[in-house]
Structures are given as C-alpha cells and as structure tokens.
A and B are shown apart, each in its own frame.
Chain A
Amino acid sequence: NAGVTQTPKFQVLKTGQSMTLQCAQDMNHNSMYWYRQDPGMGLRLIYYSASEGTTDKGEVPNGYNVSRLNKREFSLRLESAAPSQTSVYFCASSEPSNRPGETQYFGPGTRLLVL
C-alpha cells in the first residue's frame, strides 16, 4: 500500500515549456486534490476532483489544467510554464467530506523550478 505517489520528484523547466505532473493513489479514494506550497503563502488549492470524471477549480487555477484519468490517477498540466509557477506541488486524496473523520492523505511533493 503505497498511499499517494507523485512523479517526478523534481523538475526544472524553461519558461514556455509544458509538462504534466502525475499523481496516483491506491486507497480507493473518490476525491483527489492538487495544491501548491509557496514560502509565506501556505498551501493553496489549484484543482480538485470530487469523483472520477469531475474536476473543479480551486483558489489558484490559472495556468493549469487537470485530468482525472480514472479513480486512481489525477494529473496536473502546465501548458506554458512561467517563473511564477515555481513551487512545490502536492497531490492529496480523501473520501468525500460527508464521511466524518476522513482526513486527506498527501503525496511527497514535486519540486518545480521554472527558469
């Protein structure tokens, strides 16, 4: 049981390049999330997926797209990377909040540097 896995662990991009961050969970959770963490800003929600086939914008969605490929996988795509997207990206999963006591489980993060 690996929990939440993310690839790659670290990536350097040039401005304008594109890339996809991968996330997978093996806990059979319905909900998945993408956050970014910046110094002094805390974690902020980019996109989330309440269930397979649905996605919704979070607090900071501009410049990103997501795909909920199946129940296990939720990918985040940067179409044209900008230096402002330099950050640490975390994927998380959980059961829906109508099941009391369910927490979110986080992956180890992807560190992205955009030059």
Chain B
Amino acid sequence: KQEVTQIPAALSVPEGENLVLNCSFTDSAIYNLQWFRQDPGKGLTSLLLIQSSQREQTSGRLNASLDKSSGRSTLYIAASQPGDSATYLCALENQAGTALIFGKGTTLSVSS
C-alpha cells in the first residue's frame, strides 16, 4: 500500500528565508505527484504537478523536484513571505489508482 510521508509536520521561518519541504513515498510506480496549498478553513489549491517522466516543475518562487528512484519529492520556496503561511500537502497518483493519495501536510509559518 502506497504511503506518503511529509516532514517536518510544522515549520516556522523568518521572512526572506529559503526553505525546503519534504515528501517521501513508498511505491515508485506513480503517475504524477502534486503539491497543494491549503489555507486555514479553505479548500486545496494546486501549486505544481510533476509527471512521472519529469524531474522538476517551477512556478514563480516555487520549485518542485521528483526523484522516483529514491521515493522523494521536495518543494523549494525561495525568499519566503508571510503570505506563504499555509499548510502544504503532497499528493500522488499511483499508476494503478484513480485518485490521489495525500500526505498529512507541513504547516508553514513565515514571520515578518
């Protein structure tokens, strides 16, 4: 059974710092991996989607990488801002599955 783990569970950083969020998974037979953002009391917003054949995706200050062989993905946030404070969820779609399998998330707090 595919398991998705996100470490750390919570992270606090000062504004301007570069940071990395980690996601690991146990079964490398994935179709794609996505990073979502969730603000308190809100739904999920997709940030980046990486197909299994890709190594990374970039959007603005965000860069997500995927290493299937080691079962790891990272989300890099450059020059963090207070507006980046949210919970970041990693989710992947197995090749055999039809829906997303989520990690428990990393709650990020960026102080000004």
The answer to the question of B100 belonging to the interface, with a C-beta cut-off of 8 Å to chain A, is: yes
- Residue-by-residue, is B72-112 near A (CB-CB < 8 Å gives 1, otherwise 0)? 00000000000000000101010000111011110000000
Q: Within 8 Å CB of B100, what residues of A? A: 33, 43, 45, 104
CA distance A35 to B99 in the complex (A): 10
Partner of B42, one of A45, A96, A108: A108
Interface residues on A, range: 20 to 34
Q: Within 8 Å CB of A4, what residues of B? A: 43
Partner of A41, one of B4, B31, B104: B104
The answer to the question of B22 belonging to the interface, with a C-beta cut-off of 8 Å to chain A, is: no
The answer to the question of B49 belonging to the interface, with a C-beta cut-off of 8 Å to chain A, is: yes
- Residue-by-residue, is B33-50 near A (CB-CB < 8 Å gives 1, otherwise 0)? 010100001111110010
Interface residues on B, range: 20 to 34
Q: Which residue of B lies closest to A98 (CB)?
A: B31
A108 touches B43 (CB 8 A): yes
CA distance A48 to B93 in the complex (A): 14
B89 touches A105 (CB 8 A): no
Q: Within 8 Å CB of B98, what residues of A? A: 31, 48, 50, 56, 96-97
Partner of A43, one of B31, B46, B89: B89
Q: Within 8 Å CB of B42, what residues of A? A: 108-109
CA distance A107 to B38 in the complex (A): 12
- Residue-by-residue, is A91-108 near B (CB-CB < 8 Å gives 1, otherwise 0)? 010001100110111111
Chain B residues within 8 Å of A, Cβ to Cβ: 4, 31-32, 34, 36, 41-46, 49, 51, 89, 91, 93, 98-100, 102-105
Chain A residues within 8 Å of B, Cβ to Cβ: 4, 31, 33, 35, 40-45, 48, 50, 56, 58, 90, 92, 96-97, 100-101, 103-109
